[in-house]
Structure 1
C-alpha cells in the first residue's frame, strides 16, 4: 500500500510540473507576439528571472537563461569582457549580451558597475567606442603586438580612432601606418587610464589622480585637503570634483570651505583634442 501511495505521489508531482511548464511556455509565447503587451502579475517576474525564456543570441544559436547568466558570471569573475558563443565561438559584444539577460534595472546596474570596473582596471585591453559606446577589445597586428588604433564594426560607418586618447586616427599617406590627430594624445591617455583617489579621508575621493586644467590642459593633482586646486602653469583655480572654477563652484555652497563635498556630480574623465 505504501508503494502504491509513493508511486501515486510521484506521478502527481510529474503531472503538476508538466502543467506548470506548459503554462509558463504559453506566457512566454504570448509575450513574444508582436504588437501585444505582456500583462498579468507574472510578467515582471519573467523579465527579472528569465523564467521560461530562451534568449536568441546574435549568431542565431539559442541559449537557455541559466547558461547565459552562468557565462556572464564566469567572464566577470575572471575580469574578462570576452563573451563568446559556446556553440560557434563567435564574439558577442556586451550590449548584445545585456539585451538578452532580461534582468531588472537594479540587476543591470550591478552588472554595469562590474563591467566598468573591469574596463578601468584594464585600459590597455578594453575601451568604449567614442561614437556608439560599444565595448571593444584592443586589436593586435600581424606580429601579435597591440595596435595603436582601432575601429568599431558595430557603428553604421567605419571610423578609426586612437586607442590611447580616442581621437580620430588619420591616414595622410595611403601607404603609411597613420597617426593620431590629437596633439595632446599623451595627456588625454593619462587622464583616461590613471587610477582614482582611494583615500577615504580625501575630499576628492573617487576622482582620477590626475585632472587637466580646464583652461590650459596642464596635468595637475589634488592639493592639500581641499576640493579646490590651482594650476601650476596658468594659476587657474578650479574644483577638482566638478571642474568648474572656484568662483562658480563656491556660489552653490553656503560655506564651501566647511563643506568639502560638491553639489554637482563628479565630472567624468576628461578627453579633448588640441
Structure 2
C-alpha cells in the first residue's frame, strides 16, 4: 500500500476558484498541525488535503476497490460518512499528476472489468481470454490453434499447456497444478475476532457467492462485505448477514445461532451473467471431450 511519504507534496492553487477552500482539519487523517494549510471541501462536505486524498484513494485501489467513499466520521457520531466520490472529483481535488491519472485509470478499468468478467492471458500468445464454461479448466485458444495448425489448449488454473483428459473442474495433469485459493483456505490460521465473542474462526474466507478470498480486518463486527460482488455475510457462520441476524437478532458482536463454520474445502464458481451452473464431477474423464473456446478481447 502506498503511504503519504511516497507521494510528492501537493498544494492547492488559491487562484483556482472552482474549488471551495476551507481552513479546517484534514478529515481523512485528522491532521490539524498547521491551520494555515489550505484544504478543499469534497461534495460530501468534508475537508481534504490533496496528499491524503491521493493516498486514501490509492489505498482503496490497492484493496481492489474501484469506487471511492469518504472515510470521515460524521460530526457527533462514530459513523463514517461513506458517501461515494465520483472519480472526476477525486482526480481534481487530489491534484493527480499525469502519471497518477494514468495509473489510477488503468487500474480502475481493470478492477471494474473484473467485477463483470474473469479474464486471463493465454500462456502462448498472451491474448486476453474469458471462459465460456466456468466449470471447465480446459481452454482452447483460437489464435494459437490457427497459428500452430493444431488445437492449443491450456489450463485456466496453472496457465500451462493442458495435460490429461478433459473436461476437468479440479486440475490438469501438470504436477504443479493446484488451486492456490483452496490451499490458502486449508492452511489459514484460526483466530478470535477482536471485540466479539467469536473464537476458533478461520482467518480467511471465500465469499459464499463469488468465491473471492476475504480476510477479516480485525475491527468492527463479525460481518464483512465482499468487494467484488458486494455480498454481506457473517464471517463466522458464513450465512448472509440478514439471515444470521434473523436467527439471533443484534448478535453483531456475539456468537451466531449456528456454530462457527469450519475451514472451507470448496470455492463457489460465480457466473456474473447467468444463474449458477452445475459443476463437473472431478472424475470426468469418461465425459465427452468439450474444451472451452476462448473469447478474444
Q: Please, what TM-score do these two structures have when normalized by structure 1?
A: 0.32
Specify which structure has the bigger relative contact order, considering alpha-carbon pairs within 8 angstroms and separated by 6 or more residues. Answer: 2
**Higher radius of gyration, 1 or 2:** 1
Q: Please, what TM-score do these two structures have when normalized by structure 2?
A: 0.30
User: Higher helix fraction: Structure 1 or Structure 2?
Assistant: 1
